[in-house]
Amino acid sequence: MRHLMSPLDFSVEELDKLLNLANDIEANPEKYAHACAGKKIATLFYEPSTRTRLSFEAAMLNLGGSVLGFSSADSSSAAKGESVSDTIRVISCYADICAMRHPKEGAPLVASMKSRIPVINAGDGGHQHPTQTLTDLLTIRSLKGRLGNFTIGLCGDLKFGRTVHSLIQALIRYPNVNFVLISPEELRIPDNIRDDVLRKNNQNFKEVVRLEDAMPELDLLYMTRVQKERFFNEEDYVRMKDFYILDSEKLKLAKPDMQILHPLPRVNEISVEVDDDPRAAYFKQVQYGVYVRMALILTLLEVEVC
């Protein structure tokens, strides 16, 4: 039995296979419509979510399976003090696979150790968000035609942004990826990613503060939200929240085929006028998230579709 805690749990070859499966699902959805008939996914969300929870549910429904779960800690027995370990032992009696989001780093890993069903990390604190990374990889490969040989700008909250941490770890395994890390001083990439991931693996990267300075060289721009829920005080959040606002004026500096990604939700960091720009790819990214989660469910449940 396999779990998914980090994008590195899959080799590059396994990831290729998973992304190919997602592309086949996109092209031939009817082929997969009953692949998980009789199977159930439990979505255990101790933190708010729109995309991740509902895309897992949509993915299982598209495969002919069923869904159950909770969408906040308050509506589960966690509110009465039940541990994650006990909860997963219970859920193992009800479902075939589960996706767990938790504010504490490592909580899905703890659950996986007691689980009798595959556990998918659907985001743990500021640590990892591997299924967002699978979504990002599928989006990049589909839109650029390749993984590697590009310059990607990662902009916003690089300190607490788990999507950025997971994506960097995944992308260093592909050739000739140049990273431009764009953040205010207070929200720079954590030392463990800069030193243990980027420097240790001889990756080409630089850190800049101004988005305008980085824009002309980027093939991809990955915007992120400044996350209110990760700040210890409101004052710091208010000071940081509008540090970056991507608008049509700034986009004039970008390459005509640069693609703009964002894991969403968006607050103010991308002006709504940008949504009509052909380079805005963040809503396509949401759709890719369903295909890749369908592929992941099939892979972890070892369901073969001929």
43 lies in the binding site for ligand CP (CB under 6 A): no
216 lies in the binding site for ligand CP (CB under 6 A): no
For tokens 């800049």, name the residue: 208
Q: Which residue of 6, 49, 227, 259 would you call a contact of ligand CP, by CB under 6 A? A: 49
285 lies in the binding site for ligand CP (CB under 6 A): no
Q: What is the 3-state secondary structure (H, E, C) of 171-216?
A: HCCCCCEEEEEECCHHHCCCHHHHHHHHHCCCCEEEEECCHHHHHH
Q: How far apart are CA 280 and CA 273, in angstroms?
A: 10
Q: How far apart are CA 197 and CA 143, in angstroms?
A: 26
Catalytic residue among 3, 40, 43, 51: 51
Q: How far apart are CA 174 and CA 132, in angstroms?
A: 18
Residue type, 258: M
Total residues contacting ligand CP by CB under 6 A comes to 9
What 8-state DSSP symbol labels residue 29?
G
Site for ligand CP in 86-145 (CB under 6 A): 123, 132
52 lies in the binding site for ligand CP (CB under 6 A): yes
Nearest residue (CB) to ligand CP, 152 versus 215: 152
User: What is the nearest approach in angstroms of ligand CP to the Cβ of residue 47?
Assistant: 8
Binding mask 250-279 for ligand CP (x = CB under 6 A): -------------xxx--------------
165 lies in the binding site for ligand CP (CB under 6 A): no
149 lies in the binding site for ligand CP (CB under 6 A): no
85 lies in the binding site for ligand CP (CB under 6 A): no
Binding mask 185-214 for ligand CP (x = CB under 6 A): ------------------------------
Decide if 114 is catalytic: no
Q: How far apart are CA 103 and CA 160, in angstroms?
A: 12
The H or E element that residue 120 is part of is strand 119-124
Decide if 51 is catalytic: yes
7 lies in the binding site for ligand CP (CB under 6 A): no
Q: Closest Cα partner for 251 from 217, 208, 215, 209? A: 215
With H, G, I as helix, E, B as strand and everything else as coil, classify residue 68: strand
Decide if 194 is catalytic: no
Decide if 50 is catalytic: no
The piece of 46-54, 67-75, 147-155, 216-224 that touches ligand CP (CB under 6 A) is 46-54
Q: Exposure pattern of 115-154 as b/e (b: 16+ CB <10 Å)?
A: bebbbbbbbbbbbbbbbbbbbbbbbbbbbbeebeebbbbb
Catalytic residue among 52, 131, 133, 139: 52
Active site residues: 51-52, 80, 101, 129
Residue numbers at the binding site for ligand CP (CB under 6 A): 49-52, 123, 132, 263-265
